[in-house]
């Protein structure tokens, strides 16, 4: 049941109607049942795994609070069990392939058993949310939740279950305990967020995905400039996809009276790579900071210094994104760039570089180029693309060849994306001071009607583009 599907909106409308018209005592049971129905709509067996992970962390939390002297043992047992679930479902195939490759090179005559395991949607998100709860209980930052049904809802709340935001118990559990009455403003702002998320996903991300596929499906047929532009478009495509999902999740949460955590803060306005990671997927970055980096800093690796801790954290962040060497390398590259940035702070302060140039360099080079590892199928294809981008395999004329971007429907997707992205960036900048719709609402009647007419035309153009394109794909992070 995709967020960008008709089925989901029938589901959402039904749950919202019953939630706000039914008795208060049924609100939480309704949300819990709806969350499991939502998750099991992909595969009923997923519900069993979700329940098992939930029950495990609930039991560990209660146990740590009841028997403090054994809290550390219980915590590590819980962490080990959660990581084992992640390993089996997400990383075993990657592990076995590499073990078999190594054993084959050594001619040892033994292979790790190959098992095809279907990756449950969203497993990385709810396992991380469960892990953070156990660690927070151990650190006494939250108390162990005694109500199993409420805790099940905390882990499974359907707007953020399969692709975040990754919530902390300190934020979500207190909200779930409250009885939320119907809030007209909450519903209105939620619907605006849902519409914004659908626009990012169904217009921008889908448009850009076609152009990115055209660039990297057969990279040997593209010039270096075309592949470079493809990498930049891929990064913006991923942003629109994930941020679009997040906006829909936040909007659904508000419609139920729940305020989920902000996940993006105009990441491409960052003036350096460190700031970028503070603005990009903030609940995930914050999770790795609080539960990986700080944990490493309290362990034996601390003696190697902060740069090593940062690098290892980003390596693991890359591996979280996908079980492949491409993601491992992507994580290491980002970790290396953050380490270099932090290590050269004193030297850099001697130079006064305009903020606009720093922002441009961050996106065009530090953020955009490593995206090649994300959109290529293996390391060999990544290296081939980089060689073309940097001109090793390209003749002077071929490197500049981007004619395919302006052929047929590609031209429509490119032009419309450029216009819509420009408008969205301006709107997001204005939203930092005050929501654009609230600003428009205070304008004189004539000017206000004109603004609404322009927004209406944009909506019509966006819907027309969706029908023109006739594609509707799953969100990128559903695979994680």
Q: What mean pLDDT is reported for the chain?
A: 88
Q: Give the 3-state secondary structure of the chain.
A: CCCCCHHHHHHHHHHHHHHHHCCHHHHHHHHHHHHHHHHHCCCHHHHHHHHHHHHHHHHHHHHHHHCHHHHHHHHHHHHHHHHHHHHHHHHHHHHHHHHHHHHHHHCCCCCCCCCCCCCCCCHHHHHHHHHHHHHHHHCCCCCCCCCHHHHHHHHHCHHHCCCCCCCCHHHHHHHHHCCCCCCHHHHHHHHHHHHHHHHHHHHHHHHHHHHHHHHHCCHHHCCHHHHHHHHHHHHHHHHHHHHHHHHHHHHHHHHCCCCCCCCCCCHHHCCCHHHHHHHCCHHHHHHHHHHHHHHHHCCHHHHHCHHHHHHHHHHHHHHHHCCCHHHHHHHHHHHHHHHHHHHCHHHHCCCCCCHHHHHHHHHHHHHCHHHHHHHCCCHHHHHHHHHHHCCCCCCHHHHCCCHHHHCCHHHHHHHHHHHHHHHHHHHHHHHCCCCHHHHHHCCCHHHHHHHHHHHHHHHHHHHHHHHHHCCCCCCHHHHC
Query: C-alpha dihedral over 140, 145, 150, 151, to 10 degrees?
Result: 70
Confidence tier at 347 by pLDDT (50, 70, 90): confident
Residue with tokens 């207190």: 174
Among 20, 70, 82, 321, the active-site one is 321
- pLDDT score at 352: 82
Confidence tier at 116 by pLDDT (50, 70, 90): confident
- pLDDT score at 479: 55
Residue 473 has pLDDT above 70, yes or no: no
Say how many C-beta atoms besides its own lie within 10 A of residue 84's C-beta: 10
Residue 472 has pLDDT above 70, yes or no: no
* Cα–Cα dist 411/207, whole Å: 11
Task: Give every CB contact of residue 355 below 8 A, 6+ residues apart in sequence.
Answer: 271
Confidence tier at 467 by pLDDT (50, 70, 90): low
- pLDDT score at 253: 95
Residue 463 has pLDDT above 90, yes or no: no
Confidence tier at 165 by pLDDT (50, 70, 90): very high
Confidence tier at 457 by pLDDT (50, 70, 90): confident
Of the two residues 355 and 103, the one the predictor is more confident about is 355
Share of the chain above pLDDT 70, in %: 94
Tallying the residues shown for the chain, one arrives at 480
Largest CA distance in the chain: 80
Residue 195 has pLDDT above 70, yes or no: yes
Confidence tier at 443 by pLDDT (50, 70, 90): confident
Peptide bond into 130 cis (omega under 30): no
When mean pLDDT is compared across 100-104, 132-136, 188-192, 392-396, the lowest value belongs to 392-396
Residue 227 has pLDDT above 80, yes or no: yes
Residue 108 has pLDDT above 90, yes or no: no
Residue 480 has pLDDT above 60, yes or no: no
Structure tokens at 310: 């940062």
* Cα–Cα dist 123/120, whole Å: 6
Residue with tokens 């003749």: 395
Confidence tier at 119 by pLDDT (50, 70, 90): confident
Catalytic status, residue 20: no
Peptide bond into 165 cis (omega under 30): yes
Confidence tier at 166 by pLDDT (50, 70, 90): very high
Of the two residues 476 and 237, the one the predictor is more confident about is 237
**What are the C-alpha distances in Å from 22 to residues 18, 372, 450?**
5, 50, 40
Give residue limits of the domains in the chain: 6-182, 186-479
Share of the chain above pLDDT 90, in %: 55
Confidence tier at 411 by pLDDT (50, 70, 90): confident
Residue with tokens 């151990």: 138
Residue 104 has pLDDT above 90, yes or no: no
Q: What is the DSSP string of 1-27?
A: --TTSHHHHHHHHHHHHHHHHS-GGGH
In eight-state DSSP terms, residue 299 is: S
Confidence tier at 291 by pLDDT (50, 70, 90): very high
């Amino acid at each position: 049941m995709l967020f960008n599907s008709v089925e989901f909106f029938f589901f959402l409308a039904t749950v919202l109607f019953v939630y706000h018209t039914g008795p208060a005592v049924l609100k939480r049971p309704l949300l819990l049942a709806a969350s499991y129905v939502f998750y099991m709509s992909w595969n009923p067996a997923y519900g069993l795994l979700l329940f098992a992970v939930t029950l495990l962390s609930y039991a560990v939390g209660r146990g740590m609070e009841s028997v403090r002297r054994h809290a550390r043992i219980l915590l590590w047992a819980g962490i080990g069990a959660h990581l084992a679930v992640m390993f089996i479902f997400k990383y075993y195939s990657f592990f076995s392939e590499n073990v078999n490759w190594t054993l084959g090179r050594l001619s040892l005559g033994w292979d790790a058993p190959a098992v095809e395991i279907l990756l449950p949607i969203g497993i990385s998100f709810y396992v991380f949310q469960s892990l953070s709860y156990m660690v927070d209980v151990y650190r006494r930052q939250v108390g162990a939740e005694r109500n199993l049904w409420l805790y099940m809802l905390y882990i499974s709340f359907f707007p953020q279950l399969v692709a975040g935001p990754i919530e902390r118990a300190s934020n979500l559990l207190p909200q779930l305990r409250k009885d939320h009455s119907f809030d007209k403003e909450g519903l209105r702002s939620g619907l605006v967020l849902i519409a914004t998320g659908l626009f990012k996903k169904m217009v921008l991300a889908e448009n850009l995905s076609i152009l990115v596929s055209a660039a990297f499906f057969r990279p040997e047929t593209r010039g270096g400039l075309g592949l470079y532009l493809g990498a930049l478009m891929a990064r913006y495509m991923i942003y629109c996809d994930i941020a679009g999902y997040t906006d829909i999740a936040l909007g659904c949460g508000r419609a139920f009276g729940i305020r989920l955590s902000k996940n993006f803060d105009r990441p491409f306005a960052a003036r350096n790579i460190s700031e970028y990671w503070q603005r990009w997927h903030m609940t995930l970055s914050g999770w790795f900071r609080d539960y990986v980096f700080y944990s490493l800093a309290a362990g034996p690796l601390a003696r190697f210094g902060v740069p090593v801790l940062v690098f290892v954290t980003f390596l693991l962040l890359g591996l979280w994104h996908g079980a492949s060497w491409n993601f491992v390398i992507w994580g290491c590259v980002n970790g290396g760039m953050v380490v270099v940035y932090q290590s050269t702070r004193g030297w850099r302060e001697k130079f006064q570089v305009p903020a606009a140039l720093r922002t441009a360099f961050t996106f065009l080079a530090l953020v955009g180029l490593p995206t090649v590892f994300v959109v290529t199928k293996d390391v060999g294809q990544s290296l081939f693309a980089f060689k073309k981008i940097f001109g090793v395999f390209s003749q002077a004329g071929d490197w500049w060849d981007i004619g395919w971007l302006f052929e047929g429907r590609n031209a429509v997707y490119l032009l419309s994306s450029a216009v819509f992205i420009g408008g969205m960036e301006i709107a997001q900048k204005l939203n930092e001071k005050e929501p654009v719709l609230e600003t428009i609402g205070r304008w004189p009647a004539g000017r206000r009607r004109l603004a609404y007419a322009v927004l209406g035309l944009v909506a019509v153009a966006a819907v027309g583009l969706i029908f023109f394109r006739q594609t509707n794909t799953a969100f990128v992070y559903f695979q994680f």
